């Protein structure tokens, strides 16, 4: 079945790029491992397939599915989120160009931009993306080519107005990139709000099962698509067939999972808010969150990620991080199982001592799809160790 943009999200998730195999009727399209394709005479390609780096039907199916869900014309799938980001920046910037990015961007994104691409002449300015005046100043101060935002951001959970930021970037002749990893296309579609490019770590909610590393870029402009497609082909950081297959399988259930992640996180956040040990709960679903009204406008629900800061400082945060059992202490997020992270020493250790450093009294929760009573009981038990020196 082919899908149309008028169909609902879950219909597109299940069917886009997933037509049954015509010879056998296999409902799940076969996984294509072949690295090369027979030619009917020199240059006689079947359906355009020539060599696995340039094209693979399993990867193409995932790309079609990603484009259909983000509302883009083209999607490109990569071997990791950072591989996607690297290809994107190489496709769209040249030495002397500048990137303005959030001052709480994912640590690996900042490391890539500052320590790898910085060596090749790409400048950067980290700025508070929620402060549009500060962004406008930073954009104007250099030859800014890309404005790069995560919303919600990782791990400070800040919400940025995508439509306003797109206008600001466009007025300055720059492009807006939105890292949509935390929200996923089920909760938020940045291209529809005016963004030029969406990037993902598909390792997270899109894959959804913590069993595959990948990344994606989605655009709605043929000129951008051509440039990005060329780098994907010429550099070759593509997702392999098995990774593409697993990601496609995960993506089919994204909507169902995101509803549950969001409902669980909302309940956990409301519970945390009542706890005397807690200094702040950073979750856009709480009316007390400064980005709540904006999140309500640009997101369908508020997602599965929560950050928590403790009155007892670093010791309390570390104690909770190390004393849960349903929440597993591990890097990453967005899988069906709940994960606990201490960003300052784990996911964001690479930005320690920079202005992107994460407060040491903060833990980040990725709320899975388990029964929410068990998530709360697990946290309640871990809280009993605060102040005991355990």
Give contact residues for ligand PLP (rule: CB under 6 A). 80-82, 106, 108-109, 150, 154, 179, 181, 201, 203, 213, 215, 347
The catalytic residue positions are 53, 106, 179, 204
In angstroms, what is the minimal distance from the CB of 284 to ligand PLP?
A: 15
Q: Which is nearer to ligand PLP, 154 or 248 (CB)?
A: 154
What is the C-alpha separation between 205 and 135, in angstroms, rounded?
A: 28
Report the residue number, 89 or 278, with the smaller CB distance to ligand PLP.
Answer: 89
Nearer to ligand PLP, 144 or 202 (CB): 202
| Nearer CB in complex with ligand PLP: 243/383 | 243
Q: Which residue is nearest to ligand PLP (CB)?
A: 81
CA–CA dist 317, 112 (Å, integer): 28
Angle at 259 between CA 364 and CA 335, to 5 degrees: 45
Coil, helix or strand for 329? Answer: strand
Q: Which is nearer to ligand PLP, 52 or 152 (CB)?
A: 152
Q: Is the peptide bond before 152 cis (omega within 30 degrees of 0)?
A: yes
Tokens of 270: 């409301």
Taking the C-alpha atoms of residue 207 and residue 214, their distance in angstroms, rounded to an integer, is: 8
Min. distance of Cβ 347 from ligand PLP in angstroms?
Answer: 6
Residue 28 CB, nearest distance to ligand PLP (Å)?
25
Of residues 255, 209, 235, 245, the one with CA closest to residue 82: 235
The least distance separating ligand PLP from the CB of residue 387, rounded to whole angstroms, comes to 31
Q: Which residue number, 153 or 264, has a Cβ lying nearer to ligand PLP?
A: 153
Structure-token match 């605060």, residue found: 386
Residue 125 forms beta bridges with which residues? 100
Give bridge partners of residue 218 from the DSSP assignment: 75, 198
Helices (H), the chain: 9-15, 57-70, 81-92, 107-111, 132-140, 162-171, 184-187, 222-235, 241-252, 254-273, 292-298, 313-321, 372-383
Residue 378 Ramachandran class (φ > 0 left, ψ -120 to 50 alpha, else beta)? alpha
CB of 266: closest distance to ligand PLP in angstroms? Answer: 21
Minimum distance of ligand PLP from residue 213's CB (angstroms) = 5
- How many residues are recorded in the chain? 390
Q: Which is nearer to ligand PLP, 216 or 382 (CB)?
A: 216
Nearest distance in Å: CB 188, ligand PLP: 13
Comparison of 56 and 247: residue with beta carbon closer to ligand PLP:
247
CB of 153 to ligand PLP, least distance (A): 8
Q: How far apart are CA 207 and CA 213, in angstroms?
A: 8
Q: CA 264 to CA 274: how far, in whole Å? A: 16
Q: What tokens appear for 341 in the block?
A: 């992270």
Tell me, what DSSP letter sits at residue 49?
A: B
3-state helix, strand, coil in the chain (%, to 5): 40, 15, 45
């Amino acid at each position: 079945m082919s899908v149309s943009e008028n169909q609902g999200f879950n219909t597109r998730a299940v069917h886009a790029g997933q037509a049954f195999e015509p010879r056998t009727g296999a409902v799940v399209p076969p996984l294509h491992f072949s690295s090369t394709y027979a030619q009917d005479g020199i240059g006689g390609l079947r359906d355009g397939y020539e060599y696995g780096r340039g094209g693979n039907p399993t990867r193409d199916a995932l790309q079609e599915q990603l484009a259909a869900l983000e509302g883009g014309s083209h999607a490109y799938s990569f071997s990791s989120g950072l591989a996607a980001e690297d290809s994107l920046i190489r496709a769209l910037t040249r030495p002397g160009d500048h990137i303005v990015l959030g001052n709480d961007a994912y640590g690996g994104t900042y490391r890539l931009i500052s320590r790898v691409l910085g060596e090749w002449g790409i400048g950067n300015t980290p700025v508070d993306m929620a402060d549009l005046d500060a962004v406008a100043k930073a954009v104007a101060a250099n030859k800014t080519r890309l404005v790069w935002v995560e919303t919600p951001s990782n791990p400070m959970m800040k919400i940025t107005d995508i439509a306003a930021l797109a206008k600001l970037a466009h007025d300055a002749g720059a492009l807006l990139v939105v890292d949509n990893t935390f929200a996923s296309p089920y909760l938020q579609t940045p291209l529809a709000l005016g963004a030029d490019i969406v990037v993902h770590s598909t390792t997270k909610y899109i894959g959804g099962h913590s069993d595959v590393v990948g990344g994606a870029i989605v655009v709605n402009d043929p000129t951008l698509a051509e440039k990005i497609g060329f780098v994907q082909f010429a550099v070759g950081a593509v997702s392999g067939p098995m990774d593409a297959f697993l990601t496609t399988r995960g993506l089919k259930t994204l909507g169902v999972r995101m509803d549950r992640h969001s409902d669980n996180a909302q309940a956990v956040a409301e519970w945390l808010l009542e706890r005397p040990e807690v200094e702040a709960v950073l979750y856009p679903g709480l009316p007390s969150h400064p980005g709540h009204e904006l999140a309500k406008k640009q997101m369908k629900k508020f997602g599965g990620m929560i950050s928590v800061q403790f009155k007892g400082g670093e010791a309390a945060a570390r104690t909770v991080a190390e004393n849960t059992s349903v929440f597993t202490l591990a890097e990453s997020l967005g899988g069906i199982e709940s994960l606990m992270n201490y960003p300052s020493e784990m996911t964001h250790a690479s930005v320690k001592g920079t202005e992107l450093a994460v407060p040491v009294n903060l833990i980040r929760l990725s709320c899975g799809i388990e029964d929410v009573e068990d998530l709360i009981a697990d946290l309640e038990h871990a809280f009993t160790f605060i102040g005991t020196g355990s």
